[in-house]
Amino acid sequence: MSYEGFIQQICENGHFSGRDCCDSNETCRICSGKIVWENEVDQTNWEDVGYIQREDMNKFIIQKAVIETCSHCGQNKQISPDIYRPPTPEETAQYRTISGLDVPEGADCDYVYLKDLKN
Amino acid 91 reads E
Residue 77: partners with Cβ closer than 8 Å, 6 or more residues away? 67, 68, 69, 70
Question: Which is more confidently placed, 44 or 102?
Answer: 44
Percentage of residues of the chain with pLDDT beyond 90: 69
Report pTM: 0.84
* All structural domains of the chain with their residue ranges: 5-116
Task: Count Cβ atoms below 10 Å from residue 52 Cβ, excluding itself.
Answer: 23
**Does the structure show a pLDDT above 80 at 21?**
yes
Rounded to whole angstroms, the Cα distance separating 10 from 14 reads 6
Task: Please tell me the predicted confidence (pLDDT) of residue 119.
Answer: 60
